[in-house]
Amino acid sequence: MGQKDGPAYNTTRSTSAQMDDEPIRHDWALAEVADVLGRPFHDLLARAQAVHRNRFDTTEVEGAVLLSIKTGGCPEDCAYCPQSSRYQTGLQAQGLLSTEFIVAAAKSAKEAGATRFCMGAAWRAPTDRQVEAVASAVGEVGALGLETCATLGMLSSAQAEVLAKAGLDYYNHNLDTSPEFYGEIITTRTYQDRLETLANVRQAGVRVCCGGIVGMGETRADRAGLLHQLAILDPHPESVPINLLVRVPGTPLGDVEELDALELVRTVAAARILMPGSVVRLSAGRASMSDELQALCLHAGANSIFLGDTLLTTPNADESHDHQLLGRLGSRLAAQPVL
C-alpha cells in the first residue's frame, strides 16, 4: 500500500551508548513517534536491534498458544473479525468450552514449548457468571506452570478483580488502530471503552497485553497514532502484539489492499524502540508471511510468537516450521517467560 502521508523525518542517528542509556519514557509526542517510524529503514532497524540487545537475549523467542474458548456470535461490528454475528463468513458459533477441555489444550501447549497460554472468547462484555467460569480455568491452567492470558472483551473493575484473584497473569485488550482511524473499523465500542478496560485491569494488578492491527487500510500516520497511544500508557503494556490483518472473505476488510511488508517491519521496530522493556509479539498473519519477512520482524525486535496451526479462528504458521525457522536463525523458544 502506498504511503498517503510522507512528511520529512529527522534522520539524525543516535549512538549505541545513547540508545542504551535512554530511560523508558511515557511522554512521547506524536511527532516524535512519527519520526521514529519514518526513519530510513536500515537506521530504524539498527536502533531497534540495539535497544533489543540491551534488554533481551536476542536468541530467545517466547512461545504462546491462543485458544478460542468461546467462538463466534459476537454482536460487535469490528470490520476485521470473522467472529462478528453481522458478517457471513461461514464460521460456526460455539459456546464456552469446558474447563477440562481448556486444561487439556494447555497441557498440549506446554508440551509444544509454550510458556504462556492465552484464552480468547468472542464476547462484547462477559457476564459475571461467564467471568467466574473463565476464572476457574485460569486457576487450573496456572497450576500447570504456564503464564495465563485472557481476552474476553470489556471488563468492569469487579470482573478484573475476579480474574486477578484466580491468578490471571495478563489480560489482552487491543487498541487496534489510531483514535482517528478507529471509527472506520469499529462503531459498537469507543476508544475510551478500551482504555477504561485497560485501566480496570491495571487497577486489579493484572499485567496488560495490548497492541493493534496493521494492514486495515490505515496510513503510516495511523500506525504512528496507534504506537503513540501505546507508548504513553504508564506503565507500558508488558506485552505488545503486532497483528497483520488476515483478510477474511465476508468481512468488510476481506478485500482491502495488502500492506507493504516493510511497513509491518517498521511497526515492529518502532514498537521495540518506544517500549523497550515490553515483549513485542509477532502475532496474526504469520501464515501468509515469508520466512524472510518473519526473520526481519524478529531482527527488528519482535521476541514472541504464537504457536499452533490456528489463531482463534484464522490460520497460523505451522508449529514444526516455526521450530525449523528458529533453528535456521540460531534462535530457540525460551524455556521460561522472557519477562
Q: Residue 10 is placed in which grid cell?
A: 529527522
Spatial separation of the C-alpha atoms in residues 312 and 332, rounded to whole Å: 24
List of residues 6+ apart from 299 with CB closer than 8 A? 45, 49
Active site residue 74: yes
The torsion angles phi and psi of 116, rounded to 5 degrees, stand at -130, 140
Catalytic residue, candidates 39, 47, 74, 220: 74
Catalytic residue, candidates 39, 47, 116, 149: 149
Helix, strand, coil percent content, the chain, rounded in steps of 5: 40, 15, 45
Active site residue 118: yes
Spatial separation of the C-alpha atoms in residues 33 and 263, rounded to whole Å: 14
Catalytic residue, candidates 39, 209, 266, 272: 209
In this structure, the strands spanning 239-244 and 304-307 are unpaired
In this structure, the strands spanning 212-214 and 207-209 are unpaired
Active site residue 81: yes
Catalytic residue, candidates 47, 281, 286, 297: 281
Active site residue 210: no
Q: Is 99 exposed, middle or buried (CB count within 10 Å of its CB: 0-12, 13-18, 19+)?
A: middle
Active site residue 281: yes
Active site residue 297: no
Catalytic residue, candidates 39, 47, 81, 272: 81
Catalytic residue, candidates 39, 47, 116, 118: 118
Active site residue 149: yes
Q: What is the dihedral of CA 11, 15, 18, 23, to 10 degrees?
A: 60
Catalytic residue, candidates 39, 78, 210, 297: 78
Catalytic residue IDs? 74, 78, 81, 118, 149, 209, 281
